[in-house]
């Protein structure tokens, strides 16, 4: 297969990527924007937040064929109540009023474009919504994960798409 084998379905500013231009990845987000954020620890007192995806698309309707990627990263916005103009919403994005339907559709789409035996890495921060409520939106069962961050509110959770059934049965 030619082309990227990794999909970041909600790349934002690619903040957790070591190589933000990884040649095997395609970076997708539903927004392209740039902001200057106040940051006392940065030279000049501010830093740039750049959201510049390879492709503008929404994670609820990904424009890729079934079984396209060996690895999918799904780090959707985790904010529901935060205002759209706040720095958290600028950095992470914001879910709408139908966030449960959106996340359910996001899981469905991420698994659709994931190859059989491919890996889905899901990241969630419980700042406003517990991870248990989000995991209830998919029938897929996680393999493993961990909590991280100052207050252990960020979760990294790993799934694997089952192998295709050679008989063609669902």
Rounded to a whole number of angstroms, the distance between the first and last alpha carbons of the chain is 25
DSSP letter at 43 equals: G
Q: Which CATH superfamily is domain 6-160 in?
A: Vaccinia Virus protein VP39 (3.40.50.150)
Q: Do residues 80 and 99 touch, judged by C-beta distance below 8 A?
A: yes
Mean model confidence pLDDT for the chain:
88
Rounded distance between C-alpha atoms, residue 134 and residue 150, angstroms: 21
pLDDT at site 71: 98
The pLDDT confidence band at residue 45, using thresholds 50, 70 and 90, is: confident
Report whether pLDDT(46) > 90: no
Average pLDDT of the segment spanning 72-81:
92
- What does DSSP say about strands 69-74 and 114-125: parallel, antiparallel, or unpaired? parallel
pTM of the model: 0.87
Higher pLDDT, 73 or 148: 73
For the chain, the domains span: 6-160
Rounded distance between C-alpha atoms, residue 106 and residue 9, angstroms: 9
């Amino acid at each position: 297969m030619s082309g990227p084998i990794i999909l970041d379905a909600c790349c934002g500013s690619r903040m957790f990527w070591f190589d933000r231009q990884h040649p095997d990845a395609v970076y997708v987000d539903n927004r392209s924007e740039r902001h200057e954020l106040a940051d006392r620890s940065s030279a000049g007192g501010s830093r740039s937040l750049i959201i510049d995806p390879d492709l503008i698309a929404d994670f609820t309707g990904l424009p890729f064929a079934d079984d396209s990627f060996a690895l999918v990263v799904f780090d959707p916005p985790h904010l529901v109540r935060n205002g759209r103009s706040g720095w958290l919403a600028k950095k992470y994005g914001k879910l709408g009023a139908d966030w449960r339907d959106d996340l359910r559709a996001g899981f469905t789409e991420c698994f659709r474009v994931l190859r059989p035996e491919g890996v889905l890495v899901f990241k969630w921060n419980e700042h406003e919504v517990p991870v248990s409520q989000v995991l209830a939106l998919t029938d897929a069962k996680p393999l493993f994960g961990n909590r991280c961050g100052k207050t252990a509110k960020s979760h990294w959770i790993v799934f694997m798409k089952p192998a295709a059934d050679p008989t063609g049965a669902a």
